[in-house]
């Protein structure tokens, strides 16, 4: 039986790019497990491009969430971007069922992390470091 789900994997230095393609459901878990085999000790970031993920059911979402948790436990950053309409709707429904009082702590927050958010936090950290460096060298930065 041919699977309707696969993951194209590419490696860019310490970053692994995963591109799920097809329908992520209960039968897809082995493919997710197989994707973990390319992660060695030199990997620090896993980016998941969801643009070709056409369908996501609850069991597939749990499998993807488990993958993100396992990566987090290994100290790896996980980002997913490019969600299509149907998978995005499922994430919205799940968050609607379990509303969180704090932004960023929704049930699907780990799956929704986007590189844009990481870039913004890195810029903020860089700005703070530059300000601290300026203060140490006696040139306070207004801004």
Mean pLDDT of the residues in the chain: 82
Please state the φ and ψ torsions of residue 138, each to the nearest 5 degrees: 75, 15
Dihedral sign for Cα atoms in the order 18, 24, 25, 31: negative
Token duo for residue 105: 């702590």
Written in H, E and C, the secondary structure of the chain is CCCCEEEEEEEECCEEEEEEEEEECHHHHHHHHHHHHHCCCCCCEEEEEHHHEEEECHHHHHHHHHHHHHHHHCCCEEEEECCCHHHHHHHHHHHHHCCCCCCCCCCCHHHHCCHHHHHHHHHHHHHHHHHHHHHHCCCCCCC
> Would you place residue 99 in the very low, low, confident or very high pLDDT band (cuts 50, 70, 90)?
confident
Burial 36-45 (b: 16+ CB within 10 A, else e): eeebeeebeb
Residues 6 or more apart whose CB falls under 8 angstroms from that of 13 comprise none
Q: How far apart are CA 108 and CA 95, in angstroms?
A: 7
Question: In the predicted model, is pLDDT for residue 118 greater than 90?
Answer: no
> Which of 10-19, 30-39, 99-108 holds the top average pLDDT?
10-19
- For the stretch 15-63, pLDDT in tens is 999 999 999 998 888 998 898 888 998 999 999 999 999 999 999 999 9
- 72 vs 127, which has greater pLDDT? 72
- 107 vs 120, which has greater pLDDT? 107
């Amino acid at each position: 039986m041919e699977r309707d789900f696969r993951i194209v994997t590419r490696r860019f230095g310490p970053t692994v790019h995963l591109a799920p393609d097809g329908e992520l459901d209960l039968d897809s878990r082995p493919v997710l497990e197989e994707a973990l085999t390319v992660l060695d000790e030199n990997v620090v970031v896993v980016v998941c491009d969801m643009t070709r993920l056409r369908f996501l059911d609850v069991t597939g979402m749990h499998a993807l969430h488990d993958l993100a948790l396992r990566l987090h436990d290994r100290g790896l950053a996980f980002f997913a971007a490019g969600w299509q309409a149907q998978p995005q709707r499922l994430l919205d429904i799940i968050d609607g069922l379990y509303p969180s009082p704090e932004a960023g702590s929704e049930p699907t927050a780990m799956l929704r992390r986007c590189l844009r958010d990481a870039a913004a936090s890195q810029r903020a950290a860089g700005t703070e470091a530059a300000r601290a460096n300026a203060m140490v060298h006696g040139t306070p930065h207004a801004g």
